[in-house]
Amino acid sequence: MAMMNPVYTSRQDMLDEVITLGEEIVASSNLEVLRENANLNGESFSGKMSKFGSEYAKWYANHFVMPKPLVQAIQDNIVYVHDLDQYAIGTTNCIFIPFDKLLREGFNTGNGSVRPPNSIMTAMALVAIIFQSQQNAQYGGVSANKLDHDLAPYVTKSFVKYFRKGLDYFEEGDSAADYGLITMARSDLQAQYPRAFKYAVKETESETLQAAESLIHNLNTMSSRAGGQIPFTSINYGTCTSIEGQLVISSLLAATMRGLGSGETPIFPIQIFKCKQGVNQQPGEPNYELFLKAAECSAKRLYPNFANLDAPLNLMYYDPANPDTEFATMGCRTRVLSDRFGRNHLSGKGNLSFNTLNLVKLGLEHGIALGLRQTADEQGFYRELEHYMDIALDGLLHRFRIQSSQKAKASDFMMREGVWEGGEQLNPEDTVGELLKHGSLSIGFIGLAECMKAMYGKHHGEDADVYKKAYNLIAFMRDYCDRQSERHNLNITLFATPAEGLSGKFTKRDRADYGEIPGVVDREYYTNSFHIPVYYNISAAKKIELEAPFHGLCNAGAISYIELNGSARSNPAAFLRIIQYALSQQVSYFSINHPIDRCSGCGYEGIIGASCPSCNASEQDVHIRRLRRVTGYLTGDFQTRFNAAKQAEVRDRLKHST
Amino acid sequence: MNICGYYPESINEGEGLRAALFISGCRHYCKGCFSPATWNFLYGEPFTPEREQEIIRDIAGNPLLSGVSILGGDPFFSAAEVSAFLDRLREAAGAISAWIYSGYTFEELTRDAKSPEYGLLSRCQVLVDGRYVDELRDPSLLYRGSSNQRLIDIPASLSQRGIVEWRPTFSF
């Protein structure tokens, strides 16, 4: 047995903890534990089973694995280690999957090998299988960073098949003859064999739409991780300008708008539309119509979100000849683009792990909020901030050593199939360390707004001087990450943490320690990353302008949201204007939140108050499903799946309209 | 003149993101009106020059707005004052689009080209017209409550001397 972590001393205390852990899970008595993750039903059998595993794995990591200062910093409520249940076994966080390679070469899931697909229908079915297989090799999200480019060749394959069939059916030509490279853009073939060509176009369009529908259905129904949850999937698209690629995009959007079985909004995959000047941003650009369609879809379904390829931090790596260099993201916001070892593209790598700092507590300790001093002790604040960043970083490096020492066979599919680039060259017994260095280690932060309140009495949305201080604070953190990257020769990046499970945890402890402090610890959650608080009354434009500069600092990823009240689906002009304004302000990743309610009585979707505006049924009689976004992901119904802190945040969100 | 509501940004009262200003007072008394309290001309707060300046500054400084929407009550019962507000707004903010909501129909408002009502109408781009008819209520309608109400393109209708319906720039 490893050395017992000396933070704990009594064996009896440890035994009591283990027993309590189990009892709470069996009895579903601790809802905060069960609802930590809004996409996992912690009250189901499989959910409880996975909770048993993860809660004990966390306990084990705490007592026997992690460096003592890190454990102490967690206990001090300043550092949070995400996915702690995966720490001891060395799992990695998230990945962009090279679908082009896997589909082109075929792959083996471990239970059987799969040939390269010959149609778009099969290709999209395999995309779901690949997502599912990969999801079990890691703990975070799985993402397709350029699904339109990846799938376009299979639309062509379907088209060729139908075209040759059509030549036969309509007796227009020899189906076996050599026509050169047959694509949907071949106007010469269209002129010469009009009926076969038209037939092939129609069939290909219909097959692609069906394939997209089945992909979205699959990604909302398939389970991973022993049935505990559906894979956290994200798909990015928007820049492929071939007719085939455009068909992939329009079909995905059409299928998303059509919705699931009874027309409801799909929860997965998260969709991200990649915006690029010259490609899809102005009338006349090849994919502008698809951008409009994406906005329409987003107004109806909350997805897609919008990735800004023209933001300076993304544009610097952009190579128009290589779509793998286009900024894309995991739905929650992760960004991995630059690599000090030269892999300045996305697929085949991901984030390894991240630790988040509670800025609010540091602010409380060194600010004026507690009434212990007249002016903020900035020197003390920065000294302590750096101290805890050191601890958080040591934790990441320690965890990285555990991850690096894992054998390739531990993440079998991911390595053997080269989902992580280069993994296919490893033997099952080889360790993965040399390859993992291309991934990122990230330090995140939460509660900049409350930290500023605690330090200076105002947050960065309220006062221009405080804004400067807030910006400098995050710039300091970024500078620290850059310096440490050099020092350790690793990709160490700064993350605007999507704090779902975390948003209430830090707060709860700080409230117990400090009591309720107005504007700082008086809600159930801390404000996400650098966001202007959701409860603060501010115009949409101003919120965008204030948050945009932080995107440039957070090279591990960030997102900005605008909250709209009202039926966004009926006002596309507003939607488009806001998106394009955010893009023009260099926001890297953006989305608009708006409520989608669904009456289970008549199926009406829109804004529903106490009674359905369509069938007049009251909320007491029919269930109103209220869809809201949490940290980038949607959940079925925020009232039954969100934890208390996030429910409170949704209630407090002040809309930028009505 | 009193105002009974101001939303700096709204997506519910016209195309795009719009500032929405609600003018107190209405004598249509439509059955089923969703805000009968606003019939009273003394409801809400006085539209003081200070408040007006604040709203004008707000609108002029918001790059996301597609325009302003004026509702009520019914703004045409305060036509001259609302016209004066629009003039001052445009002096400060440039050519800003205005939508206006009324219980009067376009035909009623255009009967007398010298009336203050006509003056206000001609300062706006889109009219949502007609009384609210409870029996014709339809929640799926764009920007209005009952199916007798119309979205009218004011400049086109005035120049063609007939109703030209407004069409959305984008149709989702």
SS3 assignment, position A53: helix
Q: Exposed/middle/buried for A342, CB within 10 Å: 0-12, 13-18, 19+?
A: exposed
Q: What is the pLDDT, as a whole number, of residue A631?
A: 43
List the one residue out of A153, A165, A168 whose CA is nearest residue A122: A153
Give burial (CB, 10 Å; 0-12/13-18/19+) of B112. Answer: exposed
Tokens of B144: 């209005």
For residue A632, pLDDT beyond 50? no
Sheet order of strands, B45-46 included = B45-46, B2-10, B18-23, B67-72, B97-101, B126-129, B150-153
Q: What is the helix (H) or strand (E) element at residue A209, kind and residue range?
A: helix A194-221
Which string of b and e fits B32-44 if b means at least 16 CB within 10 Å? ebeeeebbebebb
CA distance B116 to chain A (A): 29
Mean pLDDT of A53-66: 92
Given an 8 Å threshold on Cβ–Cβ distance, is B140 in contact with A614? yes
On the question of pLDDT at A465 being above 50, the answer is: yes
Per-residue confidence (pLDDT) for residue A641, from 0 to 100: 44
Out of B8, B11, B142, the one facing A574 most closely (by C-beta) is B11
Percent of chain B with pLDDT over 70: 99
| A39 — pLDDT class (breaks 50, 70, 90) | low
Pairwise CA distance, residues B47 & B24, whole Å = 10
Structure confidence at residue A33 (pLDDT): 66
Closest partner CB to B64 (pick from A540, A569, A658): A540
**For residue A180, what are the CA distances in angstroms to A152, A177, A183?**
18, 9, 9
Strands A605-606 and A596-599: antiparallel
Q: Helix or strand or coil: residue A144? A: strand
Given a contact cutoff of 8 angstroms between Cβ atoms, the answer to whether A57 and A232 are in contact is no
A628 pLDDT above the threshold of 70: no
Query: What does the CA dihedral A415, A419, A424, A430 come to, rounded to 10 degrees?
Result: -20
Instruction: Report whether the peptide linkage leading into residue A286 is cis, meaning its omega lies within 30 degrees of zero.
Output: no
Q: DSSP letter string over B44-80?
A: SEE--HHHHHHHHHHHHT-TT--EEEEEES-GGGGHH
Flag if B16 and A577 touch (Cβ within 8 Å).
Answer: yes
**What's the rounded mean pLDDT across residues A30-38?**
65
Handedness of CA A458, A459, A462, A468 (dihedral sign): positive
| Rounded Cα distance, A490 and A349, in Å | 14
Mean pLDDT of all residues in B112-119: 96
Residue B104, pLDDT above cutoff 90:
yes
pLDDT value, residue A653: 55
ipTM more than 0.95?
no
- Interior angle at CA A271, CA A268 and CA A274, nearest 5: 170
Is the Cβ pair A540, B7 closer than 8 Å?
no
Chain-wide mean pLDDT for chain A? Answer: 89
The reported pLDDT for the residue numbered A6 is 52
Numbers of helices and strands, H then E, in chain B = 5, 7
Over 80: is that where the pLDDT of A644 sits? no
Q: Which residues pair with A626 in a beta bridge?
A: A597
Average pLDDT, whole number, for chain B?
A: 93
Tokens encoding B141: 């309608």
Q: Coil, helix or strand for A81?
A: strand
Which positions ≥6 away from A218 have C-beta within 8 Å? Answer: A125, A128
For B64, the closest chain A residue by CA position comes to A541
- Contacts across the A-B interface (CB distance below 8 Å): 73
- Reduce the DSSP state of residue A183 to 3 states and report it: coil
Lowest mean pLDDT among A58-72, A373-387, A496-510, B58-72: A496-510
More reliable by pLDDT, A250 or A330: A250
Look at B143 and A299 and tell me if their CB atoms are within 8 Å.
Answer: no
| Span A69-96, pLDDT tens digits | 999 999 999 999 999 999 999 999 999 9
Contacts of B145 in chain A (CB under 8 A): none
Is B94 in the A-facing interface, judged by CB distances under 8 Å?
Answer: no
- Binary contact (A541, B63; C-beta < 8 A): yes
The encoded tokens of residue B94 equal 């440039």
Interface test with B, best of A539, A546, A564 (most B CBs within 10 A): A539
**Per-residue pLDDT at A265:** 81
The verdict on a CB contact (< 8 Å) between B172 and A570 is yes
What is the predicted pLDDT for the residue at A229? 66
pLDDT, mean of residues A24-39: 71
Residues of chain A in contact with residue B137, where contact means CB-CB under 8 angstroms, are none
Q: Give the model confidence (pLDDT) of B120-167 as tens digits.
A: 999 999 999 999 999 998 877 888 989 999 999 999 999 998 999 999
Reduce the DSSP state of residue A463 to 3 states and report it: coil
Q: Of the candidates A97, A154, A94, A146, which has an alpha carbon nearest to the alpha carbon of residue A124?
A: A154
Q: Which of A101-115, B87-101, B108-122 has the lowest mean pLDDT?
A: A101-115
Q: What is the pLDDT of residue A227?
A: 47
pTM of the model: 0.91
Q: What is the pLDDT of residue A441?
A: 98
pLDDT of A656 strictly over 60: no
Tokens representing A626 are: 């209220």
B9 Cβ under 8 Å from any chain A Cβ: yes
- Taking the C-alpha atoms of residue A459 and residue A240, their distance in angstroms, rounded to an integer, is 42
* Cβ–Cβ < 8 Å for A185, A246: no
| pLDDT reading at A654 higher than 60 | no
**Pair A391, A411: CB distance under 8 Å:** no
Of residues B77 and A564, more confidence is placed in B77
pLDDT of B11 over the 50 cut: yes
Q: Are B5 and B20 in contact (CB under 8 A)?
A: yes
Cross-chain residue pair A574–B15, CB shorter than 8 Å: yes
Whether the pLDDT of residue A514 is over 70: the answer is yes
Chain B, nearest residue to A615 by Cα: B139
Q: How far apart, in whole angstroms, are the C-alpha atoms of residue A594 and residue A522?
A: 25
Query: Is the CB of B16 inside 8 Å of chain A's CB atoms?
Result: yes
Mean pLDDT of B22-42: 92
Residue type, A71: V
Q: In terms of CA atoms, which chain B residue is nearest residue A578? A: B64
- Residue A226 pLDDT more than 70? no
pLDDT given at position A30: 75
Contact B172 A300 (CB under 8 A): yes
Between A251-265, A436-450, A456-470, the lowest mean confidence (pLDDT) is in A251-265
Report yes or no: B119 at the A interface, CB cutoff 8 Å.
no
Task: Please state, for a pLDDT cut of 70, what percent of chain A lies above it.
Answer: 90
User: What pLDDT does residue A595 have?
Assistant: 76
Best mutation site among B11, B57, B134 for testing chain A: the one with the most A CBs within 10 Å?
Answer: B11
> How far off is chain A from B79, nearest CA to CA, in Å?
24
> How remote is the C-alpha of A142 from its chain's centroid?
9
> Can you tell me the mean pLDDT for A11-39?
78
CB contact under 8 A, B15 and A578: no
Q: What is the mean pLDDT of residues A469-473?
A: 98
What is the distance between the alpha carbons of residues B1 and A113, in angstroms, rounded to a whole number? 77
**Does residue A625 have a pLDDT over 80?**
no
Nearest to A577 among B8, B64, B143 (CB): B64
Residue A420 DSSP symbol:
S
